[in-house]
Amino acid sequence: MRQRRKSLAKILLLQDQLKNLNAWKLAALDLRRAALEESQKATIEAVDRDAISNGILVNSAPRRLRNIDRQIATVKDEHRAQAQRAQEQAMRAKLAERLAENLETQYRMQQERADLGDLIERSVAKKGASPA
């Protein structure tokens, strides 16, 4: 039982770390999407500001904007997939937590039974040893 508790504690720790890793990946994707959207805004503002004076920028801007749009769509798809993986990992972590709690309850009950058995044996031994 003791070895099983140790193993389950390790599994629980690993599941928790994996859950945190998935959350960090989601946050990184959010930051990446925000940076791309900011780049998109900056490109649009540059086109609006310099449309008349700089023909080269105006010619390359649509290509740049399409590229940014594709990157944003890719990041959104990655975010959706990562959110799904994060949810699945959270469920696995919760399951490991429940297993650990159940095992801990079983261990406590086993210890209580053993302690009660020892107490009964000592009580019976005292009664048998005392002069009557």
Q: Which residues, other chains included, contact 37 with Cβ-Cβ below 8 Å and sequence gap of 6+?
A: 72
| pLDDT on residue 57 | 57
The answer to whether the beta carbons of residues 93 and 22 sit under 8 Å apart is no
Residue 36: give its domain's CATH number. Answer: 1.10.287
Q: Can you give the pTM of this predicted structure?
A: 0.65
- Look at the chain and report how many structural domains it folds into: 1
- Kindly state the percentage of the chain with pLDDT values over 70: 89
The answer to whether the beta carbons of residues 79 and 26 sit under 8 Å apart is yes
Task: Give the domain extent around 112.
Answer: 2-129
Q: What is the pLDDT of residues 77-98, one digit of tens each?
A: 999 999 999 999 999 999 989 9
**Rounded distance, CA 127 to CA 88, Å?**
58
Q: What is the pLDDT of residues 10-32, one digit of tens each?
A: 888 898 899 999 999 999 999 99
